[in-house]
A and B are shown apart, each in its own frame.
Chain A
């Protein structure tokens, strides 16, 4: 079995201008990465970073403009059919047929892969069980909740028993409980040996699901590694978050800069972040220099901080 599932080198995606006066838009600007079997891999970045374009190229529905890309050892330009036959795709908008029933949606999708009807029926039963939709096979998709529809979309993507599952922002738009159920299902898939590739702009999701992460910004890869490696390399162990009364933040920051000479301070519109090895010690200093923040919180550094450190911007505006 092949160990490298996806390999990209100098991968570029440029879209033609929308009209005569427009300019071409470079969504992905020369990226390199390698994805190995059994690994779960995440593309992290804000909207417009180039994540979805990269996913579309891997899914063989968007030809690369330049550079090389191999998926399952094959060339997407000439062997798209063969590659797609072994991929599972979970689009962000569920793209289920709402006029059809749950089972009919699975049937149609299985037919696209040329699976015989008895095979589809047998797999559907297991997949509905897995998606916690058992007993709902004959309901119209219209009647399902958002979380159920997303789980059905995942079930559908597994009908061809794919080796790689591509998920585009799998939990965007779901409530917290539905997200946790979904993470649990994806984690099980991972344990069964399916390689996950996902895009997200949620840090907690990336930390939950990804063994390795690529942080993208404006079409470039700005960092890659495991969540822990990224935090170690681009952030401190702890973060002190301070909020001040309206109009007092500027004065407070000036004082903090004198106190926290060796540490990095990050000023956001609504709060100040102090990156430090010892959050409690930093808070003691804040009180010592006579500052009275409205709220103060010490927390562990997260990928959000990594992104902020790398790009100077937060992920979700």
Chain B
């Protein structure tokens, strides 16, 4: 019998083949939308914001905003790539039960799909980062590290989303996640304005949310203001989320695909 890695690659090859047929539709939501935000808000609205405003840490608004929207888009892509496809494919007629009838185990199905989610979020983040650099929004060569940082942010959302979505019998709750989780995090995690501008009672709540860690990590790398101990805290926090999400997903995939 082949190794578990080879089994995961068999599952991965399904998603790749599918993607070759359907990639056009994914470009708009995962790449074009964040880029429109970057241009409309970063460049357009950013002109209205005084340059070197103290709250932005002495940089122009585009340089402040771009890494923030990179992280926020990564979160959104992580959830889009995990929650919808998992909820759709776990049920009757979906790709998961079909694969479960073959030598693949639920863990192989999970690993193959995770590999594909990771490919997707890395690809989207890379395109976004390239545009960000082209717009002159980066202030440091460390901006290259925003790619793994954004991918980590995306997977910190994708893994728990996959674990949750595999338990769903209907995909409607996924839309609720966008309304009640994605939108508030998108707006209040320091993406559009510095967290320090919020009332001091609210700030600890923001510091506890995962997107802020991703935003601060990406921003401090792009601006070259990174404090490595704090960056390690961000990375540890996001890795923790990935780890917990992965362990839950493993259990729940087995429970639901081998019911």
Contacts and interface: CB of A to CB of B under 8 A. Distances in A.
Contact of A61 (B1, B17, B93, B101): B101
Complex A-B, nearest 8 residue pairs according to Cβ-Cβ distance, in ascending order: A112-B102, A89-B101, A93-B93, A81-B103, A85-B103, A95-B98, A93-B92, A108-B14
Nearest to A13: B259
Interface in B74-118: 92-95, 97-105
Interface residues of A, number: 30
Interface stretch (A97-105, A269-277, A291-299, A308-316): A97-105
Given A111-B13, A114-B6, A100 B18 contact: yes
Interface residues of B, number: 27
B181 interface: no
A290 B97 CA distance: 59
Contacts of A112: 10-11, 14, 99, 102-104
Contact of B1 (A82, A92, A94, A104): A82
Given A62-B258, A111-B10, A114-B10, A99 B21 contact: yes
Interface of B: 1-2, 6, 10-11, 13-14, 17-18, 21-22, 92-95, 97-105, 257-259
B97 A95 contact: yes
Interface in A69-128: 80-82, 84-85, 87, 89, 91-95, 97, 99-100, 104, 107-109, 111-114
Nearest to B98: A95
19 contacts: A61-B100, A61-B257, A61-B258, A80-B105, A81-B103, A82-B1, A87-B101, A89-B101, A91-B92, A91-B101, A93-B93, A97-B18, A99-B22, A104-B17, A108-B17, A109-B102, A111-B13, A112-B104, A160-B102
Given A99-B21, A108-B14, A81 B99 contact: no
Nearest to B15: A108
B102 A84 contact: yes
A92 B95 CA distance: 14
A57 to B, nearest CB: 10
